[in-house]
Structure 1
Amino acid sequence: MKRIVMFGGGSGSRDITMALCRQRYEVTRVVPAWDSGGSSRALRAALGILAMGDIRQALMTMAHGEGRVSSVVRFFNARLSETSSQPDLLAEFDFYVSGAHPLLATMEPGIRGAILNYLRVFQSNIAGDFDFCRGSIGNFVLTGAYFAHGRDINTAIFVFRKLCAIDGHVWPSTADDTVELRAVLRDGQVVRGQERITDLNAEQAQAGIERVELLHAGDGRPAASRPAANPAVLEAIGTADLMLFGPGSFYTSTLPHLSVAGIAEAIRAAPPQVPKVFVGNILECPETIGGTVAEQVRALLQAGGPGSLTHVLLNRGWVPFERVAKGFRYLHEGVLPEGGPGLLADDFEDPWHRGRHDAPKVVELLGELITRSGPAPN
């Protein structure tokens, strides 16, 4: 099986992940440890841990792509209610922890016992005022496994994968619990926290992002040294047949991985025939309003260094008009660097879902790149 390493988080890479799994590629997703929104925000605030949400979401995507939609996956995909009533939320959570949920009765005893054990470990580590609103059961199980296995995130992910029977891999780029993302805008404003950067207001979005940095969470000090790379990520990079950057939130889910110590160096050290492909987004988002794909390519090359990118996969529509979908304009190409990565330009938009990639078409092209590049040395 050909090995593909994908850098990105959240839902932006979902369609391509599923298409790669269905074509029997061995996929490794490298996701952020600094997510600070949704269920991850409550967990990080209460427990001081790295973000679980992108890890769990990427694992669930793989489960669907691999056809592993079992009772376990359905259970892990469940969320608690959107209510402000703490007694109601506690009662709902207790329903899962007690083992009363009907899906648990369909599982093998060993799997059911492991899941309930991890939920109870999680329960023992939280305070009574924990915010359960819209909490992800999968996040709670993964967090429980994290504490049960001595705060070793790689072991926690391993057992979570085994419970779901997932073949692919998902690793945070760093196992550092303290990492927080900060964006410096072109007008000097500083925006702290992944969820605030992803949702810039109109004034901030117009100013645009100049750079992103990783900080120690809580005190705002720039890291004295860059957070260390997860060894599992470095191993995956070293054996990859192709590396993929994006699609997804560029400044929060893709670019910051190259600020983790060891990752850019490992990418540059990969055999020269291994394709390293940036998949440009089709639409703008609050992070990239007024920007271009070319600006993002330059940011990747600056962070990754020479040889960190070999190709740019660019959506190019058929009509020469300014277009808008879902409230955002189509991202402009800009002027790509001369002598830079090779350009793979075509209409890559899904014909049924505006603003999303035609994942099978993208995956077909990636397969051609791997075939042309030849096997990477073992």
Structure 2
Amino acid sequence: MAKTWIRREVEIPNHMALARLEKCPELGPKLLFFSGGTALKRSSARLVNYTHNSIHVITPFDSGGSSAEIRRAFNMPAVGDIRNRLMALADQSLRGNPEIFALFAHRLPKGEEQEPLRHDLDQMVRGRHELVARIPDPMRKIVRNHLAMFQQNMPEDFDLNGASIGNLVLAGGYLANRRHLDPVIFMFSNLVQVRGTVRPVVNKNLHLAAELADGALIIGQHRLTGKETARLTSPITRLYLSDDTGRAVDQPIRDKMRTLIQGAELICYPMGSFHSSVLANLLPRGVGQAVAGAACSKIYVPSTGDDPECLGLSVADQVERLGQVLMADAPGIRLSDVLHFVLVDTAHGHYPGGLDLARIRNLGVEVIDCPLIGYGPSPDIDDRFLVPILLSLA
């Protein structure tokens, strides 16, 4: 079978193409997102109206909150961001799905003694807690079984304060499936009719480590974001995967992940925490080669507003760093192999480090400048604008 590149002019957004996709989303394009946290949550929920084939490569390196306690107890990857994306892509119109969503979004109270928290968990395992009782079978039985597996293996000193029930369910499923995430994701994707594919970039218990310009070494994703600890006061100069001691780990992606990336019809590096959400996904060995080998458009959507991880970085700096991480994967990869477009809104977007559009264009990357910010006080990129643009480029 012969392959060739075709250059075409695209209307952004292409309303005719969007109307066709809305009528038949099960045949929609394979848009692949390298993302981690909640920045893409609303866009993911809107995306299912146009395609059921989007691919979401998720970082499993979160080291804060409920995820940290689960990882400490079971030596496993973080599942919180996976849970969030599964729920964002679930078909909320199906019977039982809103109930599953409510349970997965529920957290046990903070600041409580362990005994009442363990009682709440036990009530869920027994099916007597209202959030579990209203879930229809067979989902209720599966949820109870996974929570029971978690409960049976939970260490005596496990702290349930603020625990995400969805994370506990997925952790129980992980333990029940011989410490494999794929079967758990597959099962819940089918149960709640997830309209897309969600996968961790790697299935290993690894951490993010960062070297700062002042010589400091930061270990742990939660220490980079400024959400649970003090904000960074020195720019990040190097980001890498590590064990819990900070020793660098060379972790390759699996063939399954390589196939997903190379089969994409558009690759998007979306808004979100630049280092801990976007770049983190690009660090495992093989990602850069897979992206370079994908015959599709590749686009970066920089965040608007404040990103504590981008201290001292303009959007042009971010573009260079994104390219450096991907090109370092193997000799011969060029920036033009891994990035074609940068999507910005110069009229309404706020980019604290500046844009430097001329420098971006000098790198050979095309700038698409169009409305991205919604009406109102929020500085965030509006999914009503972003999703149609991405679909029009696929």
Change (3 A) 1:67 1:4: farther
2:374 is the counterpart of 1:346? no
Aligned ranges 1:221-370 → 2 under 5 Å: 221-223=247-249, 226-271=250-295, 274-305=296-327, 306=334, 307-317=337-347, 330-334=352-356, 335-336=359-360, 338-370=362-394
- What is the CA distance between 1:364 and its match in structure 2? 1.5
CA deviations over 1:120-157 (Å, ceiling 9, x no partner): 11111111221111111111111111111111111111
Alpha-carbon distance between aligned partners in 2 of 1:125 and 1:275, rounded to the nearest angstrom: 45
SS of structure 2 residue aligned to 1:276: strand
- What is the CA distance between 1:292 and its match in structure 2? 1.1
RMSD between aligned alpha carbons? 2.1
SS of structure 2 residue aligned to 1:277: strand
Gaps of 5+ in 2: 1-27, 328-333
Change (3 A) 1:331 1:357: farther
- What is the CA distance between 1:76 and its match in structure 2? 1.7
How many equivalent residue pairs? 355
TM-score (structure 2 length as normaliser): 0.85
- What is the CA distance between 1:51 and its match in structure 2? 0.5
- What is the CA distance between 1:202 and its match in structure 2? 10
Aligned ranges 1:127-276 → 2 under 5 Å: 127-177=155-205, 179-199=206-226, 205-217=232-244, 219-223=245-249, 226-271=250-295, 274-276=296-298
CA deviations over 1:148-188 (Å, ceiling 9, x no partner): 111111111111212322131111100112x1101111121
- What is the CA distance between 1:22 and its match in structure 2? 2.2
Change (3 A) 1:347 1:201: same
- What is the CA distance between 1:97 and its match in structure 2? 1.3
Change (3 A) 1:138 1:19: same
Alpha-carbon distance between aligned partners in 1 of 2:348 and 2:165, rounded to the nearest angstrom: 44
Alpha-carbon distance between aligned partners in 1 of 2:149 and 2:294, rounded to the nearest angstrom: 40
Alpha-carbon distance between aligned partners in 2 of 1:84 and 1:318, rounded to the nearest angstrom: 44
TM-score (structure 1 length as normaliser): 0.88
- What is the CA distance between 1:221 and its match in structure 2? 1.4
In the alignment, what sits opposite 1:44? 71
Gaps of 5+ in 1: 324-328, 371-378
Change (3 A) 1:356 1:318: closer
Q: Which amino acid aligns with 2:169?
A: V
Alpha-carbon distance between aligned partners in 2 of 1:137 and 1:231, rounded to the nearest angstrom: 31
- What is the CA distance between 1:41 and its match in structure 2? 0.6
Alpha-carbon distance between aligned partners in 2 of 1:346 and 1:19, rounded to the nearest angstrom: 19
In the alignment, what sits opposite 1:95? 123
SS of structure 1 residue aligned to 2:127: coil
CA deviations over 1:33-73 (Å, ceiling 9, x no partner): 11101111110111111101111111111126x65542222
- What is the CA distance between 1:74 and its match in structure 2? 1.7
- What is the CA distance between 1:337 and its match in structure 2? 5.1
Alpha-carbon distance between aligned partners in 2 of 1:109 and 1:202, rounded to the nearest angstrom: 42
In the alignment, what sits opposite 1:375? none
- What is the CA distance between 1:302 and its match in structure 2? 0.8
Q: Percent identity?
A: 29
Runs of 4+ residues deviating >4 angstroms: 66-69, 200-204
C-alpha contact (below 8 Å) 1:76/1:136 kept by paired residues: yes
In the alignment, what sits opposite 2:105? 77
In the alignment, what sits opposite 1:21? 48
- What is the CA distance between 1:23 and its match in structure 2? 2.1
Alpha-carbon distance between aligned partners in 1 of 2:136 and 2:232, rounded to the nearest angstrom: 50
SS of structure 2 residue aligned to 1:205: coil
SS of structure 2 residue aligned to 1:6: strand
- What is the CA distance between 1:194 and its match in structure 2? 0.2
- What is the CA distance between 1:206 and its match in structure 2? 3.8
Partner residue of 1:119 out of 143, 147, 151? 147
Alpha-carbon distance between aligned partners in 2 of 1:106 and 1:298, rounded to the nearest angstrom: 50
Alpha-carbon distance between aligned partners in 2 of 1:261 and 1:367, rounded to the nearest angstrom: 29
- What is the CA distance between 1:361 and its match in structure 2? 1.3
C-alpha contact (below 8 Å) 1:206/1:290 kept by paired residues: no
SS of structure 1 residue aligned to 2:378: coil
In the alignment, what sits opposite 2:82? 55
